[in-house]
Every structure is written in structure tokens, then in C-alpha cells.
Amino acid sequence: MTYYSDKVFDLQRLFGIKDIEARQESIRVGEQVYDVIDDVIVALPPARRPSGAEPLGAGDDTFAPDIQRTFGREWETFPTILPEHRREFDFYFDLLDLSDLSDALVCDLGCGIGRYSHFLAPSCRRVVLVDFSDAIFVARRNLASTDAIFVMADLTRLPFADDCCDFAFSLGVLHHLPLDALEAVRSLRRLSPRLLVYLYYALDNRPPHFRALLRLVSAVRVRTARIGNERVRAALATLLAYVLYAPVLFAGRPMERLGLARLVPLVDTYQGKSMARIRQDAYDRFFTSIEQRVSRSQIEELRTDFSTVKLSDGTPYWHFECVR
């Protein structure tokens, strides 16, 4: 019996086809055969795999191999699900009643190390974790005690059927794609009647000095993202955590006591978090070549494509739920 032998029913819904066979080292979906490596269904063509030797086709502007490599490296460098990830999970899912998902098939789109699925899995029938980088194998290890489905696939070309799941979420992912982030949200509406999303916000509810600092950080990021050596990246992430993040957080403590923490960059996001968590975010912030930001008003424009768009007023800004 293979890992997927008892999951054929959910695979049929996921791929939208009844003719599915779970083999020892592959999954046959109709005439398509996907390799299975360490229980991960590899649904990327060879040219798009992290170790793929085949060149991407000319004019292929929907795939960013540098983003794929960066996130694979990031989550291999920071593979541990931390206690503060539980608190983040609660913030992101404040718009939902988790009891509604008790019988749901849920898709985690851009799962990374699976930190949010780790906390969501007990509340739903089954979770499907999807990532296009080697992080999916880290997620498999982190969710070894669950009965999840793991798929290596590109969110811009998912092989999944319409209405393949009951609920889907994509947190901190779509703003790193080489296509408009809000268009990416619209493209995912076919998968599920409900979609929870977090996109980097444009600091539109913050004082001007936040945006000035962001411009400076972005100028630095353009250069640091070109660094390929993984040891240098890890060392710089640690250095930035201690010489940039930590001093700002320390300076923000008296402002926090005065109830003015929202005037100090980083404070309401990172106060009380471990250096391990801050190092991971420093890596994410300074070594990712693509970063988009959207305002609340831009997100509200999605109401032309969804029956309901509900934004949370809490951090992280702006996470929102879309209902078809």
C-alpha cells in the first residue's frame, strides 16, 4: 500500500478525473503520470523543477526560477515551525470560524514549510500543501504526523480542476510572482468558493516615514537579492536581524508603553518574537527579487470579481477573505 492509496477520492476531486492510480513511485492521472518523491507529487515539468536542466521557453514570463531557488533555500535554512507561528496563524485566520472547515478539503497555496497547515490540519478533513520549491519537502517532514497531500506545482499553472477544494489560502506568496498579484488572486477564484489571502501592503495606513524607510530597504534589496552564495545570505540575514531589526525593536519599547508603537516601524510586527523568527523574515525581505505591494483600496476593487471581499482590520495588513 502506497502513501496515496487511501487518498484517491480526494485526488480525484483535486485533479477533476476519476481515472487515478496510486503507484509506488508515481501517480497516474488519466494519461498523465506524476513522479512521487518522498510522498510529494511532482507536478512540475522538468524545465520548472528546481534542479531542471532544460531551459525555460523563450518569452516565458510567468515563472521566476530565482524566486523558486530563493524560497527553497530560505525554508531549508529556516525549517522549524516556531511557537510564534501559532500566534501568526491566529492573526491570519481571524476572519474564519474554523469549525466550518471540519469536513473540508483545504488547499495551502505556497505552503513553504507548512507552518500554517500544521495548525490548520486538526480543524479540517484534509489539507493539500502546494509549493513550487524544495520547501515542499520540508513541509512533508513537518507534517509527517498528518494525512496531508503534498504537491510540487506552480501556482500560475496548477493542474487542478475547478472547485477542487472547499477552501484555499495563500499567505505571503502572490506578491512574489512575476505577474500582477491581484490578477493572481482572480486566477485562483476558480479553485474554491472561499479564498484567504495575504499580500504585502503599501503602508497606506502608516505615517510617511514608514514609506520612506521602505524605499530605502527596497533599494538595498535590489542589490542583496543578487547575492547567490547561501552562506553569505544566511550570515547577512543574521547580521541584519541584530543590527537593524533588534535596535529598532529596542527603541520601540518605550513607545509601546506609551501606546504609540504603531509609529515605530517593525514594532507591532516583531515585538516579542524570537531572533530565529526575525532572521527568517530578514532573509525573506532582503533576498527576494520580486516584491509587490497593494493598498486597501486596490484590494477592495476585487469586489467586481467576488461576491464578498472581507478585509481584516488587524495585523498583518491587509489579509482578506474572498467569497465567490
- Angle of CA points 26, 30, 31, to nearest 5°: 80
Report whether pLDDT(268) > 70: yes
- Pair 302, 185: CB distance under 8 Å: yes
Range scoring the smallest mean pLDDT among 56-65, 76-85, 133-142, 149-158:
56-65
Q: How far apart are CA 124 and CA 101, in angstroms?
A: 5
Report whether pLDDT(50) > 60: yes
Proportion of the chain above pLDDT 70, given as a percent: 96
- Which pLDDT does position 60 carry in this prediction? 60
Angle of helix 230-240 versus helix 275-286 axis, rounded to 10: 120
Report whether pLDDT(259) > 80: no
Report whether pLDDT(66) > 90: no
Report whether pLDDT(257) > 90: no
Q: Kind of pairing, strands 20-22 and 32-37? A: unpaired
Per-residue pLDDT reduced to its tens digit, 116-131: 999 999 999 999 999 9
- Which pLDDT does position 56 carry in this prediction? 47
Give the mean pLDDT of 154-181.
96
Q: How far apart are CA 191 and CA 127, in angstroms?
A: 14
- Which pLDDT does position 52 carry in this prediction? 56
Q: What is the mean pLDDT of the chain?
A: 92
Per-residue pLDDT reduced to its tens digit, 5-29: 999 999 999 999 999 999 989 999 9
Give the mean pLDDT of 280-306.
95
- Pair 83, 42: CB distance under 8 Å: no
| Fold (CATH) for 5-59+81-201+300-323 | Rossmann fold (3.40.50)
Q: How far apart are CA 97 and CA 66, in angstroms?
A: 37
Q: Where along the chain do its domains lie?
A: 5-59+81-201+300-323, 210-286
Q: Kind of pairing, strands 40-42 and 105-109? A: unpaired
Proportion of the chain above pLDDT 90, given as a percent: 81
- Is pLDDT larger for residue 61 or for residue 284? 284
- Is pLDDT larger for residue 50 or for residue 91? 91
Q: Phi/psi zone of residue 92: left (φ > 0), alpha (ψ -120 to 50 degrees), beta?
A: alpha
